[in-house]
């Protein structure tokens, strides 16, 4: 018996997909795909190094349309030409026993103009990007419906490539969240206005994805949804809005909902119970209706255990699996003292971190802890 046994209990999702333990590799941008969106050799090595332990690996977000690309070196799921290279990634993850899930995404107003055809950046309403560097125009109703359809088409490609599931990226200020937020959605058609109408786009995407799975998947295939529970600005998403979104998602028979937080224990600002951890409030609200994935600045085995005491059944590790690719194996082997929780300046090759990701880490002070 180890105190960490709880981390190694298998879980079977509603779809029938089974993960062998409760640790998930979080979807993290790595800036390392080829320029055309196909999977690079560096990317395959990076995932191979990290896929031996977690029960499930969620890949970096893949854009579902050409105008949805938000990062250089982002993998693509927007054309049928992507399927062959995606197959290699699925197999690389699965050969080590982890379930392989693709996060599907559209960047909306957060897409750099130089990555979008003709610099034609789009969002729910006319708005600037969060850093003010890009001006986005409002999508027409017809274009909005086309993007919904594109999420379904991307799902079909993920199925054809042999993955075990998709995670719909409704978090971190990207297009799906832009439609849900009153800050970025000031529409007056069927895609915006009231809370109910702001839910229309996220729920239409879920429906399109679920319909595709029903039509094309010949094996258990999971569908998850990632959301950010609150926005810092007004009028933005509050905890009460998040509870409404969760209730709507509960009706969609999802396999899980992934709560995107920078810090697992961060406290609510507006709505719900301000000053109390968001995750605790969400767990109480969901009340076991759907499995939740928690994430955010968890590094040691004890920190993960403490987070699971909130009754969150799954924990995603992001930066920690970059710094310690063999986290799960070390916990299992009783070597928790050997787990690395900070980077060293000469770690890139030893940790199999692709050069573009390493450059981004080095040039973004405070993103990763560094050992002196």
The DSSP bridge pattern shows strands 56-58 and 256-259 to be unpaired
DSSP state of 370: B
Q: What are the C-alpha distances in Å from 73 to residues 31, 307, 354?
A: 4, 33, 11
Residue of 25, 40, 162 whose CA lies nearest to 91: 162
For residue 184, whether the previous peptide bond is cis, meaning omega lies within 30 degrees of 0, is: no
Phi/psi for 316 (5° steps) reads -100, 140
Distance of alpha carbon 201 from alpha carbon 215, whole angstroms:
21
- Rounded CA Rg of the chain: 19
Does residue 183 carry a catalytic annotation?
no
The DSSP bridge pattern shows strands 135-138 and 122-123 to be parallel
Contacts of 25 (CB under 8 A, 6+ apart): 50, 51, 54, 56, 57, 58, 98, 316, 317, 318, 321
Q: Which residues pair with 127 in a beta bridge?
A: 136
Say how far residue 167 (Cα) sits from the centre of its chain. Answer: 6
Contacts of 45 (CB under 8 A, 6+ apart): 352, 354
Distance of alpha carbon 269 from alpha carbon 8, whole angstroms:
34
**DSSP letter for each residue of 116-148:** SGGG--EESSSEE-TTSS-EEEEPPHHHHHHHH
Q: Which of 46, 47, 174, 183 is catalytic?
A: 174
Active site residues: 174
């Amino acid at each position: 018996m180890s105190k960490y046994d709880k981390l190694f209990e298998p879980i079977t999702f509603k779809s029938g997909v089974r993960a062998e333990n409760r640790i998930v590799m979080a979807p993290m941008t790595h800036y390392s795909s080829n320029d055309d969106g196909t999977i690079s050799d560096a990317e395959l090595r990076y995932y191979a190094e990290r896929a031996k332990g977690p029960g499930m690996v969620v890949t970096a977000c893949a854009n579902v349309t050409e105008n949805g690309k938000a990062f250089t070196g982002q993998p693509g799921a927007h054309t049928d030409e992507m399927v062959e290279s995606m197959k290699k990634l699925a197999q690389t993850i699965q050969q080590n026993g982890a379930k392989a899930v693709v996060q599907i995404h559209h960047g909306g107003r957060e897409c750099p103009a130089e990555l979008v055809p003709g610099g034609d950046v789009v969002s729910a309403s006319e708005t600037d990007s969060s850093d003010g560097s890009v001006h986005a125009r409002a999508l027409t109703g017809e274009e909005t419906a086309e993007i919904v359809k594109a999420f379904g088409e991307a799902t079909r490609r993920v199925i054809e490539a042999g993955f075990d599931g998709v995670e719909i990226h409704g978090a971190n200020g990207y297009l799906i969240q832009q439609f849900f937020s009153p800050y970025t959605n000031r529409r007056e058609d069927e895609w915006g206005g009231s809370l109910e109408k702001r839910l229309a786009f996220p729920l239409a995407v879920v429906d399109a994805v679920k319909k595709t799975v029903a039509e094309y998947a010949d094996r258990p295939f999971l569908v998850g949804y990632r959301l950010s529970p609150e926005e810092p600005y007004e009028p933005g998403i509050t905890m009460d809005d998040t509870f409404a979104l969760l209730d709507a998602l509960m009706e969609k028979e999802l396999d899980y909902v992934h709560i995107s937080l920078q810090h697992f224990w961060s406290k609510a600002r507006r709505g719900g119970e301000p000053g109390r951890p968001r995750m605790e409030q969400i767990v109480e609200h969901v009340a076991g209706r759907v499995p939740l994935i928690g994430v955010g600045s968890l590094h040691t085995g004890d920190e993960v255990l403490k987070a699971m005491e909130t009754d969150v059944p799954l924990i995603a590790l992001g930066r920690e699996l970059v710094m310690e690719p063999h986290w799960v194996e070390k916990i299992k082997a009783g070597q928790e003292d050997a787990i690395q929780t900070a980077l060293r300046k000469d770690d890139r090759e030893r940790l199999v971190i692709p050069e573009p990701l390493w450059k981004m880490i080095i040039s973004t002070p405070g993103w990763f802890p560094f050992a002196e």
